[in-house]
Amino acid sequence: MKHKTKSGLKIISNNRKARFNYFFSEFFEAGIVLKGSEVKSLRDGKANISESYAFDENGEIYLVNSHIPSYKESSYNNHDPKRNRKLLLNKREINKLIGRINREGFTLIPTKIYFKKGKAKIEIAVAKGKKHYDKRYDKKKRDWQRERARFFRKSS
């Protein structure tokens, strides 16, 4: 599922499920500390971040529950597919994120993994979970947009 965009980003994985489950307030771009076999697996376009999130530990941000499958050609140097991965951010950004998480009840959700100028990056969003009625409203709105487009196609 590798996509090349006009800005030179090569998108590896998109978290489409997150848009349905969370309200996003702010986005941050972070680097990821990876092993060699993880980078090779990402270059093959294999990663899953649909059930992952980020948390803080000792003043650092870690990505949890992201699945980067083991690289087939790697021998004994292979990695654990579900290990916690450290995210690389500025100290000011880390302090801002930790404050949002602890005080305001937000969570950190990864939205996409991509390569930018040869480096693996991840876009994380400061997000607040949606309630059931919010999800129903979004689904109703999406269905209405689809019906409206169908009606205009038939009428013209």
Amino acid 74: pLDDT: 72
Phi, psi of 18 (to 5 degrees): -65, -35
pLDDT in tens, 60-82: 999 999 888 888 777 777 777 78
Amino acid 71: pLDDT: 80
Mean pLDDT to the nearest integer, 85-112: 89
Q: Which pTM was predicted?
A: 0.77
Measure the CA–CA gap between 70 and 41, rounded to whole angstroms.
7
- Residue 92: pLDDT band with limits 50, 70, 90: very high
Mean pLDDT to the nearest integer, 91-116: 89
Give me the architecture of the 3-130 domain, per CATH: Beta Barrel (2.40)
Residue 16 scores a pLDDT above 90? no
Q: Which residues contact 94 (CB under 8 A, 6 or more apart)?
A: 56, 59, 60, 61
Element (H, E) at 125: strand 119-129
Amino acid 3: pLDDT: 64
Amino acid 6: pLDDT: 57
